A = this chain, B = another copy of it.
Amino acid sequence: MNISRGPGQAPKYQRLAADLRRRIAAGEWQGEAALPVEAELEMQYGVARNTVRLAVDVLVNEGLLIRVQGKGTFLKDRSVLDHHAYRSPSEPWPGDSLARPSEVYTEEAQAAGRKLTADFEMLIVRARTDIADRLGLRPGEAVVVRRMLRLLDGEPWSIEESHFAAGLAAGTPLMEPDPVDGGDEAVLGDIGRVEVGAVDHLSARMPGPEEAQWFQAGPGVPLMVQTRATYDTRGPVRVIETRYSADRSRLRYGLGTPVVR
């Protein structure tokens, strides 16, 4: 392919990126195979190393390729784990359709032949304004954050943070720096705050530096953010913000009357 630049043409590096994209789509390299090394691409296309890197940058930022220093440039693998974020109330399933004790995650992973582990942290912070809003608190009020860091086959998968008003958590096991058997909803049940409804907000964005580090997310891998505000008959109970590495997860919502398949 000739990528010399004429007038009215796209820049070289973009044309090079397009050609590499085409060769990838054509299956020239399979699986997680390595691409030709940069020096080889320089020669194949007769361009400077800089131009090769600009082109590969494009595909890396699209999430198609990953670069590994000292090894090479590789096709990126994409295998996702579905998570049931919600089931229709009538879908047969042990427990509530809003509840999500840790066992749910473990089971989903096992069903997919994969292994899910988790770390736990508890912290007390001043609420972000959007969280305070949804909990019905004044801005800057203290909230208890219970954070679950989930790993899939040892790779970072999601960060789940449950936010409780300090008043609600006081005097309960939610103040302890340990996960609770049966999930936090067990505690909520004990104090008569059974969640009956929720509103989820879903968005996506690129990770910040700390997030990119924890998720081991290179360029081209967005985060998917699920923010769930739950309610009982008295009012707001908690806000759960869960961040997923988008290249490893997909969320599923069962809506309306479930259909047997």
Chain A interface residues toward B at CB < 8 A: 18, 21, 61-63, 80, 82, 85-86, 88-89, 97-98, 195-209, 219-220, 222-224, 231, 235, 246-247, 249-259
Residue of B nearest to A232 (CB): B259
Residue of B nearest to A202 (CB): B251
B259 engages A18 (CB within 8 Å): no
In the bound complex, CA of A115 to CA of B185 (Å): 41
Residue of B nearest to A17 (CB): B209
In the bound complex, CA of A258 to CA of B196 (Å): 8
In the bound complex, CA of A231 to CA of B254 (Å): 11
Number of copies of chain A assembled together:
2
Q: A197-B255, A199-B253, A257-B197 are in contact. Are A222 and B206 (CB under 8 A)?
A: yes
Residue of B nearest to A256 (CB): B197
Q: Quick one: which of B82, B197, B203 contacts A224, CB cutoff 8 A? A: B203
Q: How far is the CB of A145 from chain B (nearest CB, A)?
A: 21
Q: A205-B247, A209-B18 are in contact. Are A219 and B61 (CB under 8 A)?
A: yes
B220 engages A202 (CB within 8 Å): no
Centre residue among A18, A198, A235, A254 by max chain B CB count within 10 A? A198
In the bound complex, CA of A251 to CA of B225 (Å): 11
B204 engages A204 (CB within 8 Å): yes
In the bound complex, CA of A156 to CA of B30 (Å): 34
A246 engages B203 (CB within 8 Å): yes
Centre residue among A80, A85, A222, A255 by max chain B CB count within 10 A? A255
B223 engages A204 (CB within 8 Å): yes
A201 engages B251 (CB within 8 Å): yes
A197 engages B259 (CB within 8 Å): yes
In the bound complex, CA of A199 to CA of B208 (Å): 31
Residue of B nearest to A21 (CB): B209
B63 engages A206 (CB within 8 Å): yes
Q: How far is the CB of A8 from chain B (nearest CB, A)?
A: 17
Q: How far is the CB of A70 from chain B (nearest CB, A)?
A: 16
Q: Quick one: which of B207, B255, B259 contacts A200, CB cutoff 8 A? A: B255
For A201, the chain B residues whose CB sits under 8 A away are 82, 250-252
Q: How far is the CB of A221 from chain B (nearest CB, A)?
A: 8
Q: A61-B219, A219-B61 are in contact. Are A252 and B203 (CB under 8 A)?
A: no
